Amino acid sequence: MWHPPSPIKHAIPQPSWPTKDQVSRGLWFRPISLGPVELAERTWVPAMVPWRATEDGYVTDAVLDWYRRFAQGQPGAIVVEATGVRDVKSGPLLRIGHDRFVPGLRRLVETVRRASDGRTRLFIQTIDFQTIRRRPAPERFFGEFLAITDRHRERVSGSDAAIRARLMDMSDDERRAVLTDREWQSLEYGHRELITDLALPHMRDLPRTLPGTFAAAAVRAREAGFDGVELHYAHAYTMASFLSALNDRPDGYGLTLEGRARLPLEVYRAVRAAVGSDWVVGCRFLSDECIPGGGTVDDAAYFAVAFAGAGMDFLSLSRGGKFEDAKQPKVGWAAYPYTGRSGYECIPTVRSDAAGPFGRNVEAVAFIRHRVRAAGQATPVVVCGGISTYQQAEAILARGQADIVASARQTLADPDWFMKVRSGKGAEIRRCVFTNYCEGLDLVHKQVTCKLWDREAIDDADVVLANDGRRRLTAPPWRHGSASGSETR
């Protein structure tokens, strides 16, 4: 995990928590309309991948437990983790690329409805992503993967087999002079398909295939009973790559702001046409790509106005989380988009710069929301990033910087925290310490848990453990009043 140079260790804010009465007069726990539905309050659990689906992408009991636990805190909305829209192998990530996934997803919806007493609205984040290969050992790269071209033949003499052998023996500097930048990247980081690889038919055809694929996924989500869909246009994945300032596709789907927004708008329109106007369709995208040459907050404001104008029901803003500045993975591992500076901006820790990790995205989101309002659109805007106190959320809403305040890691640390604040029991909240233990597990594709509770009472009979047998998979129940009290929910 990347940290700013000479990091400052920031303390977790220790607020005095509001009484129940104060909360009832505040803003965070007030209802808000999201297109055709109403959220009971402006609290929001954003998407978090917990690595609990089957290898085939189906919902498991552990997936149900994960979402049940969040639903017990009765937030205004939960967004189910990034769920693949194509029917392709993607390890233990949820999928929605075929009708066979609908029954499992329906069980998930029913689980959340029951656990939240029907109070929490449930959206699902739908994602498309491109192939990324593990970093190869040099002998495999030069022996098998590298396609020998005239460029190599001009720079290294001998048969193709001899060129492969010579490349194996070269120093890094010598190899760099022979390989293209892209080949060098594939050697050092693992090959990654890019949306700008127009020589590949499936990349060239994305504008023709993706609208229908996202639309079919949304129809399945509606059938499963979700309240709506969050189109994943953020971080390191296909749709964010179209929005990116690095997108130089010359086919009308890149280069200019209009070109970059074109496919995301076409996907949205296809989804809307498929699900109708009485179902929520929103998206998550980046307020700032946070990479050299990447899109800025001005670009994001342009996209926000376009998305709102097209009829999206909400705009959720994240930041960073890109492959372009990811750390070099070890041989045999794939690069991960949360390991560089942009990853830090996405999921910041307490080892930070002077700005600190708390509410790092707020200013950018406020700017974007202002531009949406100036364009005459009332679309609700969701902010996220380092928000873990009532005071932070209230201040953001009071200043008109966002309409909904989301909290990922704090909700993982204590899924009951919204319930605790709502009932004037904020002092009982288990506070996230923002050290990214959870993200570290995500990075190595292990079931995500929180270090504040995953070793607690692991010998109890009803506790379900992670595959490593050492960590419980969900937070212990809230015992009202004291850690050893008997009243549980």
Ligand X SMILES: Cc1cc2nc3c(=O)[nH]c(=O)nc-3n(C[C@H](O)[C@H](O)[C@H](O)COP(=O)(O)O)c2cc1C
Cα→Cα distances 17→13, 394, 421, 432, 483, Å? 11, 12, 7, 15, 18
According to DSSP, the residues that pair with 44 across neighbouring strands are 77, 406
Among 146, 221, 234, 382, binds ligand X (CB under 6 A): 234
284 binds ligand X (CB under 6 A): yes
Which residue of 47, 63, 112, 206 would you call a contact of ligand X, by CB under 6 A? Answer: 47
Q: Which stretch binds ligand X (CB under 6 A): 98-106, 190-198, 215-223, 406-414?
A: 406-414
Q: Does 224 bind ligand X (CB under 6 A)?
A: no
Q: Based on CB atoms, which residue is closest to ligand X, 48 or 187?
A: 48
* Residue 211 Cβ vs ligand X, minimum distance, rounded to whole Å: 21
**Binding residue for ligand X, selected from 386, 415, 426, 476, defined by CB under 6 A:** 386
Least Cβ distance, residue 382 to ligand X (angstroms)? 10
The residue whose two tokens read 């700005």 is 355
Q: How far is CA 311 from the centre of its chain?
A: 22
Expressed in angstroms, the distance from the first to the final Cα of the chain is 36
Q: Could you tell me whether strands 381-383 and 43-45 are parallel, antiparallel, or unpaired per DSSP bridges?
A: unpaired
E-only strand ranges, 302-399: 315-318, 351-352, 381-383
Token pair, residue 262, equals: 């074109």
Residue closer to ligand X (CB basis): 124 or 216: 124
- Asked if 407 is part of the footprint of ligand X (rule: CB under 6 A), the reply reads yes
* List 76, 228, 264, 385, residue binding ligand X (CB under 6 A): 385
Q: Which of 121, 191, 369, 409 is close enough to bind ligand X by CB under 6 A?
A: 409
Contact region with ligand X (CB under 6 A), list: 199-207, 262-270, 407-415, 420-428: 407-415
User: Hey, is 485 helix, strand or coil?
Assistant: coil
**Residue 487 token pair:** 């009243």
From candidates 81, 183, 394, 403, binder to ligand X by CB under 6 A = 81
Output the CA angle 442-5-336, nearest 5 degrees.
25
Instruction: State the minimum distance, in angstroms, from the CB of residue 309 to ligand X.
Output: 23
Closest approach of Cβ 165 to ligand X, in Å? Answer: 43
**Of residues 165, 245, 121, the one with CA closest to residue 175:** 165
Please give the residues from 334 up to 363 whose contact with ligand X meets the rule CB under 6 A: 346-347
The yes or no reply on residue 125 touching ligand X (CB under 6 A) is yes
What whole-number distance in Å separates Cα of residue 373 and Cα of residue 308? 10
DSSP string, 183-235: HHHHHHH--B--TT-TTSHHHHTHHHHHHHHHHHHHHHHHHHT-SEEEEE-ST
Near ligand X by CB under 6 A: residue from 438, 452, 466, 473: 438
Q: Site size for ligand X, by CB under 6 A?
A: 25
Nearer to ligand X, 75 or 385 (CB): 385
DSSP, collapsed to helix, strand or coil, labels residue 280 as strand
Site for ligand X (CB under 6 A): which residue of 439, 450, 452, 466? 439
The rounded distance, in Å, linking the Cα atoms of 217 and 136 is 33
**442 is a site residue for ligand X (CB under 6 A):** yes
Q: What's the token pair of residue 164?
A: 């492969």
| Residue placing its CB nearer to ligand X in the complex, 82 or 195 | 82
Least distance to ligand X, CB of residue 316, Å: 8
Among 23, 59, 408, 473, binds ligand X (CB under 6 A): 408
Distance CA 368, CA 305 (A): 8
The least distance separating ligand X from the CB of residue 204, rounded to whole angstroms, comes to 27
Residue in the block written with tokens 């029917």: 87
Residues that bind ligand X (CB under 6 A): 46-49, 81-82, 125, 232, 234, 284, 318, 346-347, 384-387, 407-410, 438-439, 442, 448
